[in-house]
Structure 1
């Protein structure tokens, strides 16, 4: 038991710091090494470890990543970024459009893929207009995180929560969609207020440095492939809404359709699938199962209930999930909490609490979400620096406003 606990703690230290201190082992490496270690240490048998991996969650996430990748290779994201950035509108209006686009795309497609595809393009296009890229990148990132909280397919943590709690697409949307939509004006208003009068760069500031990587050339729009990806996406959403087919089979079937292609190589589609994230999730399933087998988490939760903190209360879960996601990351936070919930008639409220708590709180600091890390790192590669303080200066008020709004909503809908 002691060895399993030590391995568990080391894995989640790596989740919090982004790597295992003193080693070149990132989050994914820590999850995989941790899974192997608990098996070798006897904390869980290989058979039990394999069975602990929720293939339905992993399968649905993989399938939807392939669907989102189809929009990357067809040039849709590049086309969208260019059309939006070149609109003949003022900077505040352009910011509003980007917030709407970021939130909308992330609600229907995996938010991390959307951010990966569009960040370098937004940097180059805003610089070409003489604009300061920072407020536009931050608002796009914040909107991608909050907008994605509104649907079951908006983010990996939503998919995991929905699969584990048995939530329907319609039920999830009905209870999480409105606060996710309401978050977008808050994102726009706060970022616009903070950056008022600073829409353009000072002379020489923000220009790509000599060591910065040039932005990759935009993929030209393939209208046929974009239309195909769009049709498949609509069919996936329709199947989620109107059928009772297993969601993982719907997503995997859609991925199979898109991978069979005469114009685009399957390896090009699969290159945009976040394999590291899939491995991280699989490793954490094993590590968490080994920890649960010790009985320690159950004892801890029993003690917390005795003090009045009940994770089956949506508001308590919302606050704990939000705090935990800024310590270990939103996906690990959901995976830590889900096994210890006992949802009944309030399953949809608990799912919304997890999605909104982990989605809205992830804008607090750079490392609160994968989207935030992607934006900062890709912007730096293009020569635009977004410091920890710069991110937090906008992220803290955005997070506090969105969290307060969603807390009121959860109190209103909680049974």
Structure 2
């Protein structure tokens, strides 16, 4: 990309490639620092400031900034938020919340086990964002009624979503990239990753429940049997059956199309936005009313963050990081541990999509010259990139979406609250997953 002297940095004599490289890193560090210091800065204007500053200074051109925005993620978020908004309006989530309350009988442990398991399974076959958009409103409604703190339960659900999404080709965006560039099929992911992810999810859940028990979050606040019975039975559910039927039909077709998106050669985002538009036309609901429920603050956060990260990508920072990782890999066994661990750390700090893309191209090049089987490295990259998303609140799209939903309901999900719960689970799950992958190739050699 040509950087002309007409940019602000160019006019100041700072437009060289090397300067842009370091300025893109500085911009990222500055933006990230503001997101961490949420006591002083709200993360949304912080991300937008970082993104617009990258364009303003000329680190990226407006065209390059537009290309840096992951349109598939944005379309998917907007589309699914519209469909979920209509389902909320129809009373569908109130019914689900009531059913979940009856099944779990208000027991905090049963609630956490039910929701984490359901979320992990759904995330393997839907994308994480759709699952979180679906589960979080129900969870907040239940915990609020039972006088439990919703935030730890929301975090548990998000962590389960990122773990479950690791199991299949369609579960997490990095897997879609790996499947596409590494020429792996849906069954390749099921055979190589699903068994590892099942064990990892069980251990991750045990760790999380242990932490919640230690922090006192599994202590029932409504202990009186009669009061609990009254909460379960007294739920007033208002619903619009016609609107609910339309919403569920469109939601069902959307899910089927998600499964077929490889055959149809359509991005999940295109499907979601198309089906959401069809639902708005069919339901005849007031679009303004529907759009009020769309998480615009979350979308704006992604917009800014994509541009900041686009600056790193454009300056070649990801390529250098990927080459550095590839440079220290001498055999598949050390490669699993090195690549998997570094992918987890990097994916927890920056968006895992551009890093996975850069690393995938490096692995393709590595396969041409390597004297060993590079396939295990692809699976290590998938495990690291997906599980590492649990490290911080901006490590995965699902985390940011959950934070936005929680904040809207009056329960802000802080950066360090997420780190406190997410980091221990990430460390344990990454060690377990990479250890199992390493054993698989050491013992069975396949």
Aligned equivalent of 1:34, options 32, 54, 57: 54
Q: Please name the residue that 1:355 is paired with.
A: 382
In the other structure, the counterpart of 1:211 is none
Q: Evaluate the alpha carbon distance shift between residue 382 and residue 218 of structure 1 in structure 2; reply closer, same or farther with a 3 A threshold.
A: farther
1:200 to 219, 229, 237: 219
1:395 aligns to 2:395 (yes or no): no
Given the two structures, how large is their TM-score scaled by the length of structure 2?
A: 0.68
Structure of greater Rg: 2
The CA deviation at 1:322 is 0.6
C-alpha distance in 2 between matches for 1:367 and 1:170: 30
Is 176-185 or 275-284 further displaced after alignment? 275-284
Q: Comparing both structures, which one devotes a greater share of its residues to helix?
A: 2
Of 307-316 and 110-119, deviating more is 307-316
| Structure 1 gaps, min length 5 | 204-216
Partner of 2:303: 279
Q: More displaced, 59-68 or 96-105?
A: 59-68
Decide whether aligned partners of structure 1 residues 13 and 67 sit closer, same or farther in structure 2, where only a CA change above 3 A counts: same
Counterpart position of 1:407: 434
Matches within 5 A, 1:136-155: 136-155=153-172
Of 314, 324, 343, 1:290 maps to: 314
> By how many angstroms is 1:103 displaced?
1.6
Aligned mates of 1:35, 1:284 — CA distance in 2: 9
Q: Is the CA contact 2:84–2:133 (under 8 Å) kept in the aligned structure 1?
A: no
Distance 1:126 1:105, change over 3 A: same
- Which segment is superposed worse, 270-279 or 107-116? 270-279
Q: Match for 1:252 among 228, 245, 270?
A: 270
Instruction: Tell me the residue number matched to 2:255.
Output: 233
> Which stretch shifts more, 220-229 or 153-162?
153-162
Residues 64, 374 of structure 1: alpha-carbon distance in 2 compared, 3 angstrom cutoff: closer
Which residue in 2 is equivalent to 1:207?
none
TM-score (norm 1): 0.72
Provide the C-alpha distance between the structure 2 equivalents of 1:239 and 1:386, rounded to a whole number of angstroms: 33
Contact 2:312 2:318 in 1 (8 A): no
Compute the displacement of 1:99 (Å). 0.6
Match of 2:346 among 296, 301, 324: 324
Call closer, same or farther: CA 1:3–1:397 in 2, change over 3 Å. Answer: closer
The answer to whether structure 1 residue 334 and structure 2 residue 360 are counterparts is no
Match of 2:87 among 60, 71, 74: 74
Q: Which residue is 2:116 aligned to?
A: 99
Structure 2 stretches lacking a partner, 5+ long: 1-16, 223-236
Structure 1 residue 128, shift from structure 2 partner: 1.4
Measured at CA, do residues 285 and 308 of structure 1 come closer, stay the same or move farther in structure 2, by a change above 3 Å? Answer: same
Number of residue-to-residue matches in the alignment: 388
TM-fit CA distance, 1:310: 8.5
